[in-house]
Amino acid sequence: MPSFDIVSKIDGQTLDNAINTAKKEILNRYDFNGSKSTIDLDKKTNMVTIVTEDDMRLKAITDSIISRMVKQQLDPKALDFGKEQYASGNMIRKEITIKEGIDKEAAKKIVKKIKDSGLKVQASIMDDQVRVQAKKIDDLQAVISLCRTEDFGQPLQYINMRN
């Protein structure tokens, strides 16, 4: 029976390249001359930590990260911006988590949308992905186009298309 999986993953190396390029861009900017701003990517916890002096610089850094992600063909919807915290002295810290995998709530929305469409497919939630099965490949392609038109708050990829 033909099937495919709906997942939400970010390529770690591409993300690392985007963050490093944004870091270089920020350090070379004139308005950041003499700034103590830092951008750190923790690959184990999938978290980007930004420490800088004021809100203007924080906004410039986040804009730079988003633009670099777009240029590397990464979806910025994968970023979950946390609240700003005041670090030591006059510094501001912001932690950005990178969403990996489809959470249960988004998976339920995806399955409900697929079932409400009336297509003859079976959608099931498996850990952090959704598996879709059908008798015809055309139905699977219709599900992919249906999911692309809808916004589930996460970037979705369609992998493991099998006959």
CA count, 13 A, side-chain hemisphere, 81: 10
Interval 62-89: pLDDT, tens: 999 999 999 999 999 999 998 888 877 8
**Which pTM was predicted?**
0.84
What three-state secondary structure class fits 32?
A: helix
Strand partners, 123: 132
Compute the distance between CA of residue 41 and CA of residue 36 in angstroms, rounded to an integer. 17
Give pLDDT tens digits for 31-65. Answer: 888 888 899 999 999 999 999 998 899 999 999 99
7: left (phi over 0), alpha (psi -120 to 50) or beta: beta
